[in-house]
Structures are given as C-alpha cells and as structure tokens.
Chains A and B, each alone.
Chain A
Amino acid sequence: MIRTAIAGTLLQLLHLLVALAAAPLLLGVTRFAKSRLQSRRGPSPIQPYRDLLRLMRKETVLAHDASWIFRATPYLVFSLMVIAAGMVPMFALDLPLASAGDLIAIVALLATARFFQSLAGLDIGTAFGGIGASRDALIGSLAEPAVLMVAFALALVAGTTALPAIARFVLSGGVGVDVSLALALIALLIVAIAENGRIPVDNPATHLELTMVHEAMVLEYSGRNLALIEAAQMLKLLIFVSLVAALFAPWGLAAGDVLDLLELGGGLLIFLLHLLVGAAVIAIFEVSIAKMRVFRVVEFLGAALILAVLAVVFRFVAEAS
C-alpha cells in the first residue's frame, strides 16, 4: 500500500519533470521543422529554452494600472497548465493525478487558464488587450464544446471519460477502424490548432498586427511574467499532442507496474516519437495553409463542433442498429 503510494508519487514527479522539460523542446522542434520546410535555416530546436532563460533574467516591467489579477495570472495560468499536464498520460498511463480529474476536468482547467488570461488582457485597459480577450473568447466558446463532444464520443466507445481507462480500452483492441472515432480525431485536431493559436486560426509568430489574438492578450507582459505565460503556452501544446497520442495511439506507453524501468524507458522513447510526429504534423499543416480571417475561424471551429456532434450521433445510431 505504502510502496505503491511512494511509487505513484515518484512516477507523478517524474512525469511532471519530463513534461516541463519536453514542452519547450516540442515548440522548438516544431519551429525548426517549419523553417526547414520553408527553406530557411531557422533557430535551433533548443531556442525556446534560451528564450525562457533570457526572459527569466530580464527585468519585469509592470504597467501603472496593473492590478493583483495581472500579477497573479502568470502564476495561476502556469500552475493550471502544470496540473492539467499532470493528468494527461505522456509516457505512463497510471498517473495518480489522473484519478483527480478526467477529460472534462482537463478541459475545465484549460478553460480556467483562459479565463484568467482574458482577465489579464482586460486589466491594463488597452485596446489590444481587449481585442485579444474578446477574440480569444470567441475561439474558446466554440472550441470547448467541441472537446466536450469529443469526450462524449470517447465515453460512448470506452464507457468512461477517465483518460487511462480510455487508453486501456483502445489498447485492448476493443475498437477497430471506427467512423465516429475518426470524426472525433479530426475535431480534436482542429481544436488543438485553435487552442494553441497556430495557423490558420492565429499566427504565433506575429507581432503588432490587428489579426493577432493570443499575442494581443499577453502584450503587456514582460520578463518573468512573460516567461511563465510562454511556458504555460508550451505546456498547452504538449498537453494537446499527448492527449491525441494517448487517446488515439496509446501503444507502447508504460501501462503495467509503475516502477518497471524497462517499460518506463520504452514509454519515454514512444513519448519522444509522439513529440516528433506531432511537431512534424503541425509544421506540415502550417506551411500548407494560410491564416484565416477572424470570422472564417468560426466556420473552421464550427466544423469541429459539428464533426464531434456527428461522431456522437453516429455512435448512437451504430448502437441502435
């Protein structure tokens, strides 16, 4: 009893450390792959680590009007992302934190982070903060129901919204090629792109443009606060890549005894593979599509919502017949 508790805690700590360490790498590899696809040299894959370190050392400049909400938000958003990352299986399935929250709770934790970030955007009282918060609200209000409907479709297949249980069900070969799962996957991918502010919804490389969303919202942040916000954003990308991997391709993740080192090592390798594939997919997708107008995003995300609802309805029809 006590041994499993200690082992579980160790595993959870290892998981969090790996997640924190891997998040900047994922973003770095994505940028690297993207620039190579565009025939640029591009910065090295470890550039995000250097950026974070630089921001950590820099002076933090706060606007005169910044309130405690503005100052607390980076810490809150970062903490929420860490907790959510602690619930998503990355290289091992049976995380202790996974029993503290299911897929709905993870969506809600991300929504809470968005809530605080929007408030921080409004806090200084600049037009850019407002435009970012308002547009982010539009994206979030369509993306969140889409993820919930994906969770619904998965719950219909696996009978639960607990992530380890869904992954186990997929591992057990209980599902073959399934139309509703394919639809759910597409919906989740669209949401992942939108939630992480990638092209075509938002351009992460932009600055000083009226089309930017996330960057406009965090425009007033600098120094350490900005580092935390950026780290949270990197963790969010990692969460979505791991989520897709754990739900739709959980093969090879450490699933048995928690301290089986061989299995853990295998899980870590598979995790690395997931990251590389994820980065490659994002990079290829981003170079082959142009950024959309803000109000076209509604159609894009609306499609995700409709697909997720269709996934659910197909499942109901399949069960009825």
Chain B
Amino acid sequence: MLTLTLLGLLVLLALGVSAPFIRPDRLALRLVHGGVGGVALALGIAAAIRLVAGGEVSELDLPLGLPWMGTHFRLDDLACFFMAAINLAAALVMVFADGYAARQPKPTRALAPLPIFLAACNLVLLANDAFVFLLAWEMMSIASWLLVLANHREDESRHAAYVYLAMASLSVLLLLLAFGALAGIDGDYRFAALREATERPPMATLAVVLAMLGAGAKAGLVPLHVWLPLAHPAAPSHVSALLSGVMVKIALYGLARFLFDLVGAPAWWWGVVLVVAGAASALIGILYALMQRDLKRVLAYSTIENVGVITFALGLSLCFRASELFDLSALALAGALAHALNHALFKSLMFCGAGVILEATHLRDLERMGGLVRRMPYASLFMLMGSLAASSLPPLNGFVSEWLIFQTVFASSALHDNLPRLIVPLMGAVLALSAALAAVAFVRAFGLAFLGRPRSVEAERAVEPGGTMMTGLALLAGGCLLLGVFPVVTLSLAESAAHGVIGVSLPAGAVGWIVLAPLGSGGAAYAGFIVFLALLGLAVGTRPLLARLWAERRRRAAAWDCGFPDASPSTQYTASSFSQPLRRVFGTAFFRARETVDMPAPGDARPARLEIRLIDPAWDWGVEPIRRAVEAATLRLNATQFLSIRRYLSLMFGALVTLLLIVAATQQ
C-alpha cells in the first residue's frame, strides 16, 4: 500500500512537470484534472479501505536525500484518515475543476502546480522523519503560493500571495525550530527515534509551543490568520476549495502528529492552550465572516471558524489524555477528525458554488447579487445544502461532528486538573455561540446571494452553467447529505484513526448504521437517518394530505409588504444591514466598529452617506508593527549592501570567529 501510494505521488509529480508541455490547452486541462482526480480517488478509497480493514502500520526507508539519514515513510491510521479525507474531497473538486478551469481566462496557469500541490500534501502525511516532513510541507507551501498567484495580473492576488508566502515561511521556520528543539543538539530526526525517546527532552516545552505556532499559522488559527482570508479568495475557485478543504487539514494533521505522537505523554496545559485558541478562532472567525461583503471572504473566514472547532476538539482530546481518560480522549479525537472530513466536503462545495456564481455573474460582492435562486435552481439547491452543513444543522454532515464535539465537552467534568475543568466549559459556551452565529452567517450569505430581487444587472442576467461544474457540485452536496444521514461512514473511519492514536476503542455499538450513541447505550443518541426520513416523509406527505382535506387555491400577486411595496430592489435589506444588529452587539468589542452618518443639511442635494469602519485587530496590532519593524531593519541593513570587498571579508571573518567561540563555549 505504501509503495503504491508513493508511486501514485510520482504520477502526480510527473503530471505536474509535464503539464506545461501538453498542447492543446483543452487536452492538458482534461489530462491533468482527470489524472489528479483519478489518482486522488484511488488514494482516498484505498486509504479508507485500509483504515476500516485495520491494516498494519507499514514503513519504508529509501536511501535518498541526506546521506547520513535517508528518507523514511510510514503509513499509520492517523495518516490514513487524513489521506482518505483530503483525497476524496480533492477528487470531487477535480470534477468541478474540469468544467470550471476551462472557462477561466488563462486556465493553464494553475495547471502545473496543482498535481504537485496534492502530491506534497500526501507526502506530508507519509513523512516519517523531520526532513521529509519539512520538505513536503515547504513544497506544499510553494505550490499553493503559485496557485494563489494564478491570476497574477490582479493587485489583490499579488498582495495576497506575498502575505501568504511570508506566513508560510514563518510557519516552516517555526516547525524547523520545533523539530530542532525536540531532537536536541545531536539528535536523531527520524520520527521513530523521537517517538521512542523515553524521557522528555529538556526543550520539549519550547518544541510544543513552536509546533503550535508553526502549524497554527498554516492552519489559520487566530491571531495568525491574517493571510487566510486574503489568499483563499484570491485563487481561482477550485483552488480556493483545495486550499480551504485540503491544505488547512494538512496543517491540522501536522499539529496532531506532533502533539499526539511525537512528543509523548501530554502535559495538562497543551490541551488548554489549544482549547482556548480554538474557541477564540471559532468565535472571531465567524464574527469576521458576518461582517464581510465578499462571498469568498465569508467562506474563508468560516474556514477559520471550522479550524477553530477542530483545534478545540484536538485540545479537548489532549486534556482528556493528560487526565488519562482515554475513552473520552478517543471520542474527542474522533469528533475532531470527523469534523475535518465534513469540513473538507462542505467547504469545497461552498467554494465551488461561489465559483459557479462568479462564472454566471462575475460577482463576488453579496450586495450586488440577489434573486439567483430563480436563475440558477440547481446551484441554489446545492448551495443550500452546503449552507445547512456549514451551519451545522441536521440532517447534514456538519451537525454530526459538532454534536459529537459537544457531547465530549459535556463530559469534561471528568477532567482531573482544575484549570481545564474551569476553562473547558467556558470555552464550550464560546463554541456554542459561534455555532449559532455560523447559522446566521450562512443565512446571510445564502439569502443575500440567492433570494430577494436582483440587485444588479449582472445578477439579473445570470445563466446557470451546466456540464461537469454542476456534476461536481452535485457530488459534493450528495457527499454532505450521505455523511449526514449515515454518519457511521465518517465515524467508523474516525474511530479507527482515533483507536490507532489513543489505543482505545469507543464503546461497543457506539457507532451503528442507524443510531449514534457515542457514550454507550442509554446515553445521548442521534439518528440522522431517522431524522432525515421523518423530515422527508412529513414535508412531502403533509401537502397532499392537506389538499385532500381542503382544496388548495393559489394565486400570484404583488408582494404585500404591509401595503407599501416598493418596486426598487435597492429597498431590500443588504448584507451590511442584515448584520447591523450583530455588528452593534459584537462589533464594537472585537473590531472597534464605527458607524458615521453624514446627513446633508436641508436644501443640500448631495446624498446622505452611512460609513462603517471596522479594523482587524490581528492585522493592526499584530502584523502591522512587525511589518514596520522589518521595514525599518531592512532600511538600516541596506547600508551594508555597498561595502568594499575588504569590509565584506572582515565581516565574514568576524562571523566565523563568533560562531567558533559559541561552539567552544557550548562544548565545555
């Protein structure tokens, strides 16, 4: 299996390298998207089967790379789960991409980095030493940077790609230092050696903090999230789907691999840090999403929320593990993994749907959309399913994993340490608040885009595209429904992976085809299938039943609107007015929201203006000072650019002597 996987990755790399040379463009698109989709589908299915069948952990060492180390690969349950999740989502996105990319102005630009990106993502999962891990991680960053740059003629894309590259470099630097701190001065960088280290190395705490920061920056955890809402929307929509659906999952995998596997038994505070960071990301992410006008930015901020939810569950699992409550730890981890898979599906669906809207109207601004449900009936149905899933409402898949996570939160009174016992319930309340706000954010996004009357000519003239774009959407939406109605599919995968990591299974019968009872029979249960069946039966059956009792008469007329209907679509609620109450309640605290009304004096003919100002604290107080400091430092260092050769040589000599002194001092 491992060898075959590596061969599959080689196929992807070959596709990437040969893509620029294939003519004509149409053939190249078909070949690359078909090839990537096929390989991803094969990898995803193989990984899922291996996970359910309970295969052995397989390892492979190749004499490549660094001469004293070689390269090490390993496929275990955790890696298998992520491999299944990202590849299945990526395969479905590729169906969409086949139709979507062909309609882009320069479709071949994103073609070469795409297979390399997916290969690198998979390679991160297979890595069994720090060298391969970091190499694959960096490959993933560079390839995705090229993907973000696909529309490089737009200022927005260039700016986003630049910020993204800086953050990605920071992330890999922090991870490099984390591995260094973990392995020690003359350490062994094989994961097997790190894993088997009997005593925790002296700098393990530093390593854990660095790993959290490094992986958190890549996943988009608050306050290291500033790049995500820039980079994800700037890319073409199928790439946005991959970035949000696939890449942040790899970052979370890195976090899980480091904290659950490499460092050894957890200290109690690791989990607490993740729980707090996760809850903060969930709340702040979804509040930002509520304030955005750009549909793709709404989706990107919602990704931050979901990353927060997953991180929260990972942290909770660590808390339970530190208290040696292994069955609850396994349950929380299964919830986190299930949410990762569910998010990969519904966020890919939403980004692809945003792509369809963009294709039909060339609009991303919610305030200019409206009424698309009548012009694009199928897209609106699929997006409605995606919105329900992203709002974690039954009977879609998002609800199942959130339900599971809440069940583990409610069991947190079993924790031994006092600080987590106090913090977990408080952060649980924050999580509940963000789940409710997520529903508002998606009512707003869907309602403004698809419902009401068209707010612009473009929206009025939208034409629903057909072909593989819609097939891709349908498959993704079908996946969301299937995993919501039969959560056993997700959870048997997540359970196997959690078993592989924690070493404990969930109680017998916890995960059945019909009923989900994670805490054993008699405890809380959820049956998605029954809820779905009852909803379908009632909703479809009520109408003929009522029609039999009383004959139905229907008529179309003008809207009532309390007797004062206004023909102008501009009297409708807008995206900004919809979120005005929430902006007033939460915005002043989080974004220092200010509304200024400029009302002209009587007799003055200029229009009145309402201006809303929001700040992103992470950008204004976090990134901006650092950017200024870096700029000041580089301006200073600029002076060293034009020295004489004599001065350069003496600088080098000085550096050498200093380093030797450090070595001499530490070797004592």
Contacts and interface: CB of A to CB of B under 8 A. Distances in A.
Contacts of A76: 535, 539
A228 B546 CA distance: 10
A61 interface: yes
Contacts of B543: 75
Contact of B393 (A111, A142, A152): A111
Interface string A65-82: 111110010011011101
Nearest to A149: B429
A293 B637 CA distance: 59
Contacts of B371: 65, 125
Contact of A152 (B409, B448, B538): B409
Interface string B385-415: 0001001111000010001001101110100
A152 B373 CA distance: 39
B597 interface: no
A100 B425 contact: no
Nearest to A83: B534
A30 to B, nearest CB: 25
B403 A104 contact: yes
Most buried by B among A56, A76, A119: A119
A59 B560 contact: no
Interface stretch (B145-153, B179-187, B487-495, B578-586): B578-586
B562 A298 contact: no
A220 interface: yes
A126 interface: yes
B644 interface: no
Contacts of B428: 149, 152, 312
B436 A309 contact: no
A224 interface: yes
B153 to A, nearest CB: 36
A99 to B, nearest CB: 5
A137 B103 CA distance: 37
B535 A79 contact: yes
B603 interface: no
B443 A313 contact: no
Interface in B238-258: none
A86 to B, nearest CB: 8
Contacts of B557: 61-64
A127 interface: yes
B602 interface: no
Interface stretch (A158-166, A258-266, A280-288): A158-166
B410 A151 contact: yes
Contacts of A224: 546, 550, 552
Contacts of B407: 104, 161
A295 B581 CA distance: 8
Given A79-B542, A134-B578, A145-B432, A126 B561 contact: yes
B374 interface: yes
B525 A298 contact: no
Given A134-B577, A140-B439, A145-B432, A83 B452 contact: no
A309 B429 contact: yes
B627 interface: no
A156 B410 contact: yes
B573 A148 contact: no
A114 B388 CA distance: 12
Contacts of A219: 560-562
Contacts of A99: 515, 525, 527
Contacts, number: 277
Q: Is the interface of B mostly helix, strand, loop or mixed?
A: helix
B565 A126 contact: yes
B539 A108 contact: no
Interface residues of A, number: 89
A145 B585 CA distance: 16
Nearest to B552: A224
Nearest to A298: B585
B447 A118 contact: yes
A320 interface: yes
A66 B451 CA distance: 9
A222 B573 CA distance: 22
B291 to A, nearest CB: 14
Contacts of A63: 556-560
Given A65-B453, A162-B524, A320 B418 contact: yes
Nearest to A57: B550
Contacts of B515: 99-100
A287 to B, nearest CB: 27
A189 interface: no
B357 to A, nearest CB: 16
A65 to B, nearest CB: 6
B649 interface: no
Contacts of B524: 102-104, 155, 160-162
B535 A130 contact: no
Interface string B362-377: 0000000011011001
B265 interface: no
A108 B394 contact: yes
A122 B535 CA distance: 23
B432 A149 contact: yes
A30 B258 CA distance: 59
A109 interface: yes
Contacts of A114: 439
A128 interface: yes
B443 A125 contact: no
A126 B370 CA distance: 12
Interface string B414-443: 000010011001101100110111011011
Contacts of A128: 561-562
B606 interface: no
Contacts of A308: 429
A24 to B, nearest CB: 16
Residue of A86, A119, A137 with most chain B CB atoms under a 10 A cut-off? A137
Nearest to B442: A115
A83 B539 CA distance: 11
Given A100-B530, A131-B573, A219-B562, A108 B393 contact: yes
B571 interface: yes
Interface string B130-141: 000000000000
B260 interface: no
B45 to A, nearest CB: 31
Nearest to B454: A125
A160 to B, nearest CB: 5
B373 to A, nearest CB: 4
A128 B565 CA distance: 10
B525 A122 contact: no
Nearest to B434: A145
B549 interface: yes
A135 B581 contact: yes
Contacts of B425: 152, 309, 312-313, 316
B523 interface: yes
A202 interface: no
Interface in B526-572: 526-527, 530-531, 534-535, 538-540, 542-543, 546, 549-550, 552-562, 565-566, 569, 571-572
A195 to B, nearest CB: 12
Nearest to B403: A104
A145 B402 CA distance: 13
Nearest to B559: A63
A151 B435 CA distance: 15
B384 interface: yes
B530 A165 contact: no
Contacts of A135: 581
B584 A162 contact: no
7 contacts: A65-B452, A112-B393, A115-B388, A142-B436, A145-B429, A156-B413, A223-B553
Interface of B: 370-371, 373-374, 377, 380, 384, 388, 391-394, 399, 403, 406-407, 409-411, 413, 418, 421-422, 425-426, 428-429, 432-433, 435-437, 439-440, 442-444, 446-448, 450-453, 515, 519, 522-527, 530-531, 534-535, 538-540, 542-543, 546, 549-550, 552-562, 565-566, 569, 571-573, 577-582, 584-585
Given A105-B526, A208-B562, 4 more contacts: A60-B555, A105-B394, A138-B581, A160-B522
